[in-house]
Structure 1
Amino acid sequence: MAPPASPADYRRAIWLRLAAGLTFAIMAAGVKLASDHGAHVVEIIFYRNLFSLPLVFGWLLVGPGWAGTKVVRPKAHVSRAIIGLTGMVLNFQAIRMLPLAEATVISFSVPFFATALAAIFLAEPVGRHRWTAIAVGLVGVVIVVQPGGSHIEPVAALVGIVAALAVATVTVTLRQLGSTESATATVFWFSIASTIVTGLTMPWFFQAHDAVTWGLLLWVGIAGGAAQLVNTASLRLAPVPVLAPFDYLQLLWAVLLGWLIWQTSPTAATWAGAAVIVASGLYIVHRERALRRQVSAAPESPRPEA
């Protein structure tokens, strides 16, 4: 059994999670800029995976080595790759179509969808408290999207919501994989599979680019790979309920980058919806922490209602 995490581990994990949030925001800005320069979303995904491979290989060699790539359930990795690649396409498309801050806020609905999907497909207990938080959080998404309003195009909003649902599905899939597969194997084989699959499409999507666009594509690959690795490293040191609240700081980076690069600012509705979504997400994290404490204190008693 691994030794319990120390306060120093938690501090390092929080700093790593903050770095991951910043790097994800930088990657998203690179995706949007590359799209503005004419790169196709499938092309962007190919280079995001290709240019991140040196980081993945480096992490592998200085860490667990090739033994870390061993898999127990190959078919499960195939399913994860299909779902993950679909989610990446939708997520990048949402970033391309939406203002950066709004795309980030809508992505905050991932925990709501993930909790609901885990209850349905993994039979995880979800009581009235968390179901209520999920419902309130989705109301926050509606506030941001403003159906019938003119701030966000309906198709763009729909793509953002479906992208969040796809990423939530990836989250549930990773929980299933985690019972037998290491994080190293999951990251490695997804990176390889995504590069190969999108590489096969390059005869149709490859374009010649100027130096600036190539630089942006390199930016996306390095930032995306770094964010993935730093995020994984944070989870080695502390559990998700400890780290999840810090993910919401990514909105501040998205707002800052949106203002600096595109001179865009979130609307009042976006801020209001974000407040509702963040509050609901934090409540779900709070309930998860409380349940963990109760179960640890009374392991023989029935699991409290979530």
Structure 2
Amino acid sequence: MKATAQSHAQHERLGRGILFMVLAVFCFAIMDVAMKELASRMSAMQVSFFRGATSLPFVLLWLIMTNRLPRIKPNKWHLHLVRGVVSIAFLTLTVITLRELPLANAYAIFFVAPLLITLLSVPLLKEKVGVHRYSAVAVGFIGVVIMLNPNAMGFLSYGVITGLLATLGYALIMVMVRYMHRSETSESLMFYFVLSLSVGCGVIALFDWRPVLLTDMPWLFGLGVSGAIAQYLLTEAYRMAPPSLLSSFEYTAMIWALALGYLLWGDWPGAYVLIGAGVVIASGIYISHREAIKNSAIRKTELP
């Protein structure tokens, strides 16, 4: 009876983790919508500044209320500095991509990130990648060719180039986060990410600062609130369920991108983009599955 109750509680916990993950992805999509809208009137660096500045108060409030402020003390400053520089470049390129491409097209490119993370983890983290994951990466890049062919988005368009560079930047950041978790706390990683955007992008944005209109205020408020809520939900999701279970639900972002892009701007991606994105998503899910199998095997070997 006790075992049944524990099993039921575990299933409820996993269910809440999945729900929080789906809601977090939705909030991130709302955040991207706000950035896309603001980018039509502001510089990309200015929007990136507001992404950090509107979230910083919420992050600080959370750290103070949960008595986690002392945990932001960094152990390796230089790693936070490098990550901050890459983060500034990544987010600025992301904003440009959101401005130049329909939301679903931009997301289709961003979904390439797990493929790049898998490849980069070999030389940078010395991880071993087997034939299954290499095969999934190869299939995923076939999906990239499908959705970026000249009849779909085109390899050489400005938005596609910035999207691919942004995705590479994100992959580098995630590889850095994996490495930095060996010495840094999650609180420090979150705080200095937002701080680097606020300070770095803020200083650079001064050279191309554009007036903030009264009509921009709801979008700026939505940007800050959605980003803060998304970060909280994401943290709670990973507290309740393992990454191997949650990672596949990140791809629900495409559902929100299709719905929001159509409702707000009347955008709908072509067949090539949808097919290619489907192949990339399937590859990413398979990579997550193989990662889960590998981690399970490692845990078993570590048992006494």
TM-score in terms of structure 2 length: 0.91
Q: Which residue of 1 aligns with 2:171?
A: 168
Shift of 1:220: 1.9
Cα pair 2:110 2:163 within 8 Å, conserved: yes
Q: Which residue of 2 aligns with 1:304?
A: none
Cα pair 2:39 2:95 within 8 Å, conserved: no
5+ long unaligned stretches in structure 2: 1-8
Relative distance call for 1:8 and 1:74 in structure 2 (3 A) is farther
Q: Distance in 2 between matches of 1:290 and 1:209?
A: 50
Q: Distance in 2 between matches of 1:207 and 1:155?
A: 22
Offset from partner CA, 1:75-112 (integer Å, 9 cap, x none): 11111111112111111111111110010111111111
Shift of 1:150: 5.9
Q: Would you say how many aligned residue pairs link Structure 1 and Structure 2?
A: 294
Q: Which residue of 2 aligns with 1:71?
A: 74
Is 1:21 aligned with 2:25? Answer: yes
Q: Which residue of 2 aligns with 1:238?
A: 241
User: 11, 16, 23: which is aligned to 1:12?
Assistant: 16
Shift of 1:11: 2.1
Show the 5 A alignment for 1:144-183. Answer: 144-146=147-149, 148-149=150-151, 151-152=153-154, 154-183=157-186
1:200 counterpart SS class: helix
Cα pair 1:41 1:92 within 8 Å, conserved: yes
Structure with greater proportional helix content? 2
Cα pair 2:248 2:288 within 8 Å, conserved: yes
User: 53, 56, 67: which is aligned to 1:53?
Assistant: 56
Identical aligned residues as a percent: 30
Q: Distance in 2 between matches of 1:27 and 1:72?
A: 31
Q: Which residue of 2 aligns with 1:93?
A: 96
Cα pair 1:110 1:164 within 8 Å, conserved: yes
Q: Distance in 2 between matches of 1:233 and 1:86?
A: 28
Show the 5 A alignment for 1:268-283. Answer: 268-283=271-286
Is 1:30 aligned with 2:64? Answer: no
Cα pair 1:34 1:216 within 8 Å, conserved: yes
Q: Which residue of 1 aligns with 2:124?
A: 121
Q: Distance in 2 between matches of 1:137 and 1:292?
A: 22
5+ long unaligned stretches in structure 1: 301-306
User: Could you say what the CA RMSD is over the residues aligned between the two structures, in angstroms?
Assistant: 1.8
